[in-house]
Amino acid sequence: MSIGKTIAFTTLLLCAVLIFISVVAISAGSSGIHFWEIMKTLTGKSVTDSATATIIWQIRIPRVILAASVGGTLALGGLVFQALLRNPLAEPYILGISGGSAIGAILAMLIGLSFFPGVALFSFGGSLLVLAFVTTLAGTALGNTMLSRDSLLLGGVMMNAFCAAVIMFLISMTRSFQVQHILYWLMGDLSSLQGGQLAILILVIPCFAVIFIMARPMNLLLLGRETAAAMGINVKNTILLLLIITSLMVSIIVSLSGLVGFVGLVIPHIFRSIFGPDHRVLVPACILGGASYLIVCDLLARILPSSGEMPVGIITALIGAPLFIILLLRGRS
Amino acid sequence: MQILDTENISLIFRDKLVLENISFSVTAGEFFVIIGPNGAGKTSLLKVLAGLQKTQHGSVTIKNRNITKYRRRNLSQIMAIVPQHIEVGFPFTVADTVIMGRTPHLGILGMEGKEDYLRAREAMEFTEVAHLAERKLYQLSGGELQRVIIARAICQQPEIILLDEPTTALDPAHQLKIMDLMEKFRREKGTTIIMVSHDLNLASMYGDRLLLLKEGRVVETGAPKSVLNKELLEESYGCRMMVDESPLGQAARVTPIPDKYLQNYE
């Protein structure tokens, strides 16, 4: 099968999965609306009562779109960083994005800003500051062969550790009623979504496109920087562009959802073990697969607790960690 | 016609003078072998020629154009590299790997067309790895892997191929196989071969011209018989050498002499 056909086949297959899961997620929920009523509303065939339409159009569909965007972006982010750093443990928060945006978000909550736009803007700003710092470091590092990919990895880990200390400090200074809010955000939470935020998500789509175009250069980067350069890749520009684009889209997502963990680690691994190492297949697969995975996790986070919801980050980790271990065991045998 | 020309190259790396005032040129279609002891700067020189390492002084000219004036993509259309270290950690197949050589010829989306698959096929057949097309790289033997990487370089359709010690880890039969492949490719396509080698006898039998490097400086350039000179080699490598005419004819034969045989020699 030629590469074009393989891409088309996997993409269509995963699209079908995503659509199926989305419909299930839209129809399931605590308000007990009948499935067929929902289908009729979705297809515009019936004029059901306005409450049902509101729940579907104003609450559930935006929620599913948010979950899909967050999942797709995080999975893709993990894939890109694993390729760039040639390290299977790299994840989308590796360059300190999580730390930076968490500090921003907590500061905003402490000042008493509303979730949107206040907290989101602060967390986006925080991650951009860290990103600017780390990529400047990487930019100088890439020009200088002394510093390898390991230094970039270490720089990110150190940045995250430093931010974690600042976060702990801020929490220790916080009055009790704000702590739960902050903890929810740190665990990754899709429930604070408000209308109007979804428009921001459109920004991640051009990022997806750019990364897809860079998929083949990413394959070559796996073979090492010099080998990639020898085959005509402008290595420095490619790495910097990928770092910046990926960090940007992850920052956008984090500012809306908080820190949802494990998606960026587990999804790329699953698809790499199924489809092999070619990023031209893996990029669309991770976007669609990550989206499906987070919709399912978010659905569980909504329906499992008898009252209220739990942060989706708990579910992604509860499913993700055992899944990851199973994959490791299978890979070894 | 000169296809590659270097003028007064000096390279300082980590505060150490790695290459000093190197000037030489390579003729189109030539089999050019760079020899010299460990740490002489052979691999560094090869990286400079490939444009992977910038120098502080001097210039490299490829097809009458300064190497710094090329975009990476255009340079890769002219020149392919067979590196010393090959990454096999990712489960790419042989066919995947070989067709990666088409990179500098592809459009922006990087999708291969019919011609690209054809070139990859031809390259694999040329280096006799076509039957391994669906194998993963980590399943191959050293000789097979080296032929796959050479197929990738061939698939790139270069005018110059740079090889960094391609025979070092191989047994004699596979060494000859690799050298014969390069020789045959050069004969058929007129491709220029520039090779770094530790094997003085292979260099002697296959090279049109040799360059002997020591501590970053050129000791001698020229035909194998003039470079493979007993005094020059002993001085450069720091051990006793015996150089005589190979019984096969037409080539110098170099034998390093272990201490315990020294009496017999003298």
Q: What is the mean pLDDT of chain B?
A: 92
Instruction: Write out the residue range of the structural domain in which residue B146 sits.
Output: 90-156
pLDDT value at A306 more than 80: no
A244/A236 Cα distance (integer angstroms): 12
Give the SS3 label for residue B40.
coil
Say what the pTM is: 0.87
Q: What is the mean pLDDT of chain A?
A: 83
Given this model, what pLDDT does residue B172 score?
Answer: 93
Clarify whether residues B171 and B222 are in a common domain. yes
Higher-scoring residue by pLDDT: A45, A312: A312
Q: Is B81 on the interface with A (CB under 8 A)?
A: yes
Higher-scoring residue by pLDDT: B56, A55: B56
Query: Is residue B39 a contact partner of residue B32, using CB atoms and an 8 Å limit?
Result: no
DSSP code per residue over A28-70: -STT---HHHHHHHHHT-----HHHHHIIIIIIHHHHHHHHHH
Given this model, what pLDDT does residue A333 score?
Answer: 52
- Retrieve residue B82's tokens: 């067979």
Clarify whether residues B178 and B213 are in a common domain. yes
Among A80-89, A219-228, B158-167, top mean pLDDT goes to: B158-167
Given this model, what pLDDT does residue B87 score?
Answer: 81
Interchain CB distance below 8 Å, B91 and A230 = no
Q: CA of A230, closest CA in chain B: separation in Å? A: 6
Domain contains B78: no
Q: Is A303 on the interface with B (CB under 8 A)?
A: no
Higher-scoring residue by pLDDT: B50, B261: B50
**Which of A131-140, A208-217, A254-263, B238-247 comes out lowest in average pLDDT?**
A131-140
Q: Write out chain B residues lying below 8 Å of A220, CB-based.
A: 100, 103
Interchain CB distance below 8 Å, B83 and A230 = yes
> Mean pLDDT throughout B227-251?
91
**Share above pLDDT 90 across residues of chain A, in percent, rounded to a whole number:** 26
Question: How many angstroms separate the first and last alpha carbons of chain B?
Answer: 45
pLDDT value at B154 more than 80: yes
Given this model, what pLDDT does residue A147 score?
Answer: 44
Q: Is B116 on the interface with A (CB under 8 A)?
A: no
> Mean pLDDT throughout B86-97?
87
Banded model confidence at residue A173, pLDDT cuts 50, 70, 90: confident
**Share above pLDDT 70 across residues of chain A, in percent, rounded to a whole number:** 86
Given this model, what pLDDT does residue B33 score?
Answer: 96
| CA A294 centroid distance within chain | 9
Q: Is A276 on the interface with B (CB under 8 A)?
A: yes
Clarify whether residues B108 and B220 are in a common domain. no
Interchain CB distance below 8 Å, B73 and A234 = yes
Q: Enumerate residues 167 to 206 of chain B having a beta carbon within 8 A of any beta carbon in chain A.
A: none
Q: Write out chain A residues lying below 8 Å of B110, CB-based.
A: 213, 215-217, 280
- Retrieve residue A310's tokens: 């739990």
pLDDT value at B6 more than 80: yes
Given this model, what pLDDT does residue B260 score?
Answer: 86
Q: Is A87 on the interface with B (CB under 8 A)?
A: no
Q: CA of A28, closest CA in chain B: separation in Å? A: 40
- Retrieve residue B250's tokens: 């037409």
pLDDT value at A138 more than 80: no
Q: CA of B98, closest CA in chain A: separation in Å? A: 11
pLDDT digit string (tens) for B101-125? 999 999 877 788 889 999 999 999 9
pLDDT value at A145 more than 60: no
**Share above pLDDT 90 across residues of chain B, in percent, rounded to a whole number:** 82
Given this model, what pLDDT does residue A52 score?
Answer: 74
Clarify whether residues B143 and B207 are in a common domain. no
Query: Is residue A134 a contact partner of residue A160, using CB atoms and an 8 Å limit?
Result: no
Clarify whether residues B98 and B123 are in a common domain. yes
Place of tokens 């929810």: A184
> Mean pLDDT throughout A87-102?
83
Q: Write out chain B residues lying below 8 Å of A226, CB-based.
A: 47, 52, 81, 83
Domain contains B116: yes
Higher-scoring residue by pLDDT: A57, B212: B212
Q: How far is CA B253 from CA A300, B35, B200, in A?
A: 76, 15, 8
Given this model, what pLDDT does residue A33 score?
Answer: 64
**Which of A113-117, A168-172, B14-18, B108-112 comes out lowest in average pLDDT?**
A113-117
pLDDT value at A146 more than 50: no
Q: What is the CATH number of domain A3-332?
A: 1.10.3470.10
Q: Cα angle vertex A101, ends A96, A102, to 5°?
A: 100
Q: CA of A157, closest CA in chain B: separation in Å? A: 24
| CA B194 centroid distance within chain | 5
> Mean pLDDT throughout A315-333?
81
Domain contains B98: yes
**Which of A14-23, A137-146, B194-203 comes out lowest in average pLDDT?**
A137-146
pLDDT value at B261 more than 80: yes
Q: Enumerate residues 219 to 238 of chain A having a beta carbon within 8 A of any beta carbon in chain B.
A: 219-220, 222-224, 226-227, 229-235
Banded model confidence at residue B223, pLDDT cuts 50, 70, 90: very high
Given this model, what pLDDT does residue A332 score?
Answer: 58
Q: How many CB pairs under 8 A join A and B?
A: 75
Banded model confidence at residue A149, pLDDT cuts 50, 70, 90: low
pLDDT value at B140 more than 90: yes
Q: What is the radius of gyration, based on Cα positions, of chain A?
A: 20
Domain contains B206: yes
Tell me B46's DSSP state: H
Clarify whether residues B219 and B163 are in a common domain. yes
Here the CATH number for the domain that contains residue B3 is 3.40.50.300
- For chain A, give every domain's residue range: 3-332
Given this model, what pLDDT does residue A46 score?
Answer: 61
Interchain CB distance below 8 Å, A219 and B100 = yes
Given this model, what pLDDT does residue A35 score?
Answer: 67
Given this model, what pLDDT does residue A206 score?
Answer: 94
Interchain CB distance below 8 Å, B52 and A217 = no
What residues are paired with B33 via a beta bridge?
A: B195, B210
Q: Is B50 on the interface with A (CB under 8 A)?
A: yes
Given this model, what pLDDT does residue A196 score?
Answer: 67
Clarify whether residues B44 and B172 are in a common domain. yes
Banded model confidence at residue B5, pLDDT cuts 50, 70, 90: very high
Clarify whether residues B164 and B135 are in a common domain. no
State how many domains chain B has.
Answer: 2
Place of tokens 């999965």: A17
Which residues contact residue A297 at a Cβ distance below 8 angstroms, ignoring those fewer than 6 apart?
Answer: A67, A71, A312, A315, A316, A319
Q: How far is CA B183 from CA B170, B190, B203, B235, in A?
A: 17, 10, 12, 30
B4/A316 Cα distance (integer angstroms): 57
Given this model, what pLDDT does residue A115 score?
Answer: 60
Q: How far is CA A213 from CA A202, A238, A242, B92, B241, in A?
A: 18, 11, 11, 20, 55
pLDDT digit string (tens) for B9-31? 999 988 889 999 999 999 999 99
Clarify whether residues B132 and B178 are in a common domain. no
pLDDT value at A251 more than 90: no
Query: Is residue A246 a contact partner of residue A218, using CB atoms and an 8 Å limit?
Result: no
